[in-house]
Amino acid sequence: MSATGPTLQERALGAYLGLAIGDALGATVEFLTATEIRQQYGELRDIVGGGWLKLKPGQVTDDTQMSLAMGAALLESGGWDLRNIACHWLAWLKSKPIDVGNTCRRGLVRFGRDGSLEAPFSDGDAGNGALMRNLPAILFAFRDAELLERCSIEQAHVTHHHPFSDAATLGVARMAALLLRGGHWRDNLRALRGLAKELVETHRQFRFEPYPKRATAYVVDTAQTILHGFFSTDSFESCLVTTVNQGGDADTTGAIAGMLAGAYYGVGAIPARWLKKLDAGVRREIERQVPALLALGERG
């Protein structure tokens, strides 16, 4: 690694592998409370599988699978084609995945029925499903703020149509995009703080300092948990351990925190013991998608 930090490839790969690793790590303790995790694991620091989904160690869930489906669609289309992304998600849903959120399912069933690409506004759509799967759009569009915003919101609205979901999806997309664009580490941290502050100033609900210690799938709780995990730690490993040990929607908070931390610290900072455990097929597909998505975005 050079003095300016990890390269673009290292940051992008770190983000995508970080997402999958956070998912695989956190899934073990999804729906447990922080106290229950302490009683059962002390502190969860290893990818051991299990959990309510009875996963194999290194197996991932919907967070990673929906991201991979979007990435595959983007590469197949050779650019942004929302309909093809929705088609890939629907095919994934029909493949009987191990887990799928209610709002995601409802939105994809609607798309399958009437072909519409936008869910109507709903107060019940404030889950984290749109936020958790946005990385391929970010890798494709991070160079262009307007494109990033359009892609992030369009993919979100296929299933989730709520201002808090939009705000968190966009806020985290801007943070990841800033990291992918490069720059000096210390300046980046300051700029990330600025983006987090912007999110909190637009919607006070997102205030994460002091951390309210709720880690549910409600997108406000999720965003607070990942921002707390990222800003209160100083390594990829400590960020993910802090995040998933809050419990709740731990695979999803782990995935999003892993994405941010991977983009910040780079793939070289991911512990080898976690990389080794990650499902080999998932790792191969991520390693295929990352350079291809970066190249696709570069062509514009």
Q: Is 280 exposed, middle or buried (0-12, 13-18, 19+ CB in 10 A)?
A: exposed
CA 169 to chain CA centroid, Å, is 9
Considering the complex, what minimum distance in angstroms separates the CB of residue 268 from Mn ion?
A: 26
Is 133 in contact with 70 (CB distance < 8 Å)? yes
Considering the complex, what minimum distance in angstroms separates the CB of residue 132 from Mn ion?
A: 7
Regarding 251 and contact with Mn ion (CB under 5 A), the answer is yes
Stretch that binds Mn ion, among 71-79, 142-150, 252-260, 276-284 (CB under 5 A): 252-260
* Residue with Cβ nearer Mn ion (52 or 121): 52
* Residue with Cβ nearer Mn ion (63 or 166): 63
* Residue with Cβ nearer Mn ion (221 or 251): 251
58/48 Cα distance (integer angstroms): 7
* Residue with Cβ nearer Mn ion (165 or 188): 165
* Residue with Cβ nearer Mn ion (61 or 67): 61
Q: Which residue is nearest to Mn ion (CB)?
A: 61
Stretch that binds Mn ion, among 3-11, 192-200, 241-249, 266-274 (CB under 5 A): 241-249
Alpha helices in the chain (DSSP H): 8-26, 34-41, 62-77, 82-94, 102-114, 135-141, 145-157, 163-180, 185-202, 219-231, 236-244, 250-265, 272-277, 280-299
State the residues that interact with Mn ion by CB under 5 A. 61-63, 249, 251-252
